[in-house]
Structure 1
Amino acid sequence: MKKWKKEVELNVPIEFAWSFFYGDVEKKKMIFPKVVEEAILESTEQVVGSVIHQTYQNGSLTEQYEITIQKFVDELDNKMIQESFVLNDRFRMTIDYELQRVDNKTTKFIYTSLNKPKNPLLSLFQLFGSDEVIVNFMNRTKDTIENAYKTTAD
């Protein structure tokens, strides 16, 4: 099992940043450019337990996942969505996207990922894993959300 945790400050209000993680698929595609589409398969009133079918384009390969919402918080100063899915039939992924209000114009974004291999032998390969993909995602997310905010403020 491998756990990644990274955080970065976004120079935008929490409500503006939240729309990139929940509620607006077009904005979500801006920070997840490989996501082609999402469709709700099952919806619950409290969001937890909802299932989303996601189509993902990775080069010439089209992948499809069923993402289950495990946790959901939508409070004034704290927002979080936890998604769970199986990646390539090899890893059970649990990912948290958490936003915390620092002040009216600043939001802390915390990304946590837990990758649990379905085959114990795959755990050995995780020992040599790099956080480069996560760092690139965090940088792209910060740049994308802040640039989108600047265009709305102009």
Structure 2
Amino acid sequence: MKEWSKEIEIHAPIDIVWGLLDGSLEDMQKIMPQVVDHQPVKVTNEGVGSIYRQKYREGKRVEEYDVETLEFKNTPEQKKLKVGFTLAKMFEITALYELKAINEQKTLFKYTCTNKPLKAFLKLFLFLASDKIVVQFCERVKKVAEEEYKNSKVLIR
């Protein structure tokens, strides 16, 4: 199993960042444009145990898998969402999104991704993998959240 983690400061309130991670499909697509569908299969009151059927486009191919909520926390100062899924019967993946309010306009965002190959030949592939995708994802979340915050301030005026 391999794990990557990246932390980044975002100049936007915690609720704006959280809305991109735990909001509608439209909001989710702003930071994960390859996700083409996200439908609830089972939703629990506490969040943990909820399952969503997700479709992900990779080129011309669309993969479908169930995403299970493994951890969930939603307080004004801290938010956490950990999900897990199996991709193409080849990888068990977890994604952990942690948000901490620095102040009313700044959020600390930490993204941790684990990837466990389910087939022996994939171990070498994973060994050679870099954190490039994790870094790019954090930068995209930062860019989109800051843009959303800027646009929300313009609308208020």
Counterpart for residue 85 of structure 2: 85
- Equivalent position SS for 2:44: coil
**Separation in 2, partners of 1:104, 1:45:** 27
Counterpart for residue 101 of structure 1: 101
**Separation in 1, partners of 2:15, 2:82:** 18
Deviation per residue, 1:41-82 (Å, 9 max, x gap): 011111100100011111111111100000000012110110
Q: How many Å apart are 1:117 and its aligned residue? A: 1.1
The normalised TM-score by structure 2 is 0.94
Q: How many Å apart are 1:119 and its aligned residue? A: 2.2
The normalised TM-score by structure 1 is 0.96
Counterpart for residue 136 of structure 2: 136
Alignment map for 1:32-71 (pairs within 5 Å): 32-71=32-71
CA contact (8 A) 2:92 2:116 kept: yes
Q: How many Å apart are 1:22 and its aligned residue? A: 0.5
Unaligned runs of 5+ in 1: none
**Separation in 1, partners of 2:16, 2:94:** 24
Counterpart for residue 29 of structure 1: 29
Unaligned runs of 5+ in 2: none
May I ask how many residue pairs the two structures share in their alignment?
154
Counterpart for residue 112 of structure 1: 112
**Separation in 1, partners of 2:148, 2:13:** 12
- Equivalent position SS for 2:21: coil
Counterpart for residue 146 of structure 2: 146
- Equivalent position SS for 1:7: strand
CA contact (8 A) 2:16 2:148 kept: no
Which stretch of structure 1 is more off in the superposition, 130-139 or 39-48? 130-139
Paired residue type of 2:37: E
**Separation in 2, partners of 1:153, 1:115:** 38
**Separation in 2, partners of 1:39, 1:45:** 16
**Separation in 1, partners of 2:75, 2:64:** 31
C-alpha root-mean-square deviation of aligned residues, in Å? 1.0
**Separation in 2, partners of 1:76, 1:149:** 17
Q: How many Å apart are 1:126 and its aligned residue? A: 1.4
Counterpart for residue 8 of structure 1: 8
Counterpart for residue 73 of structure 1: 73
Q: How many Å apart are 1:132 and its aligned residue? A: 1.3
Paired residue type of 2:61: L
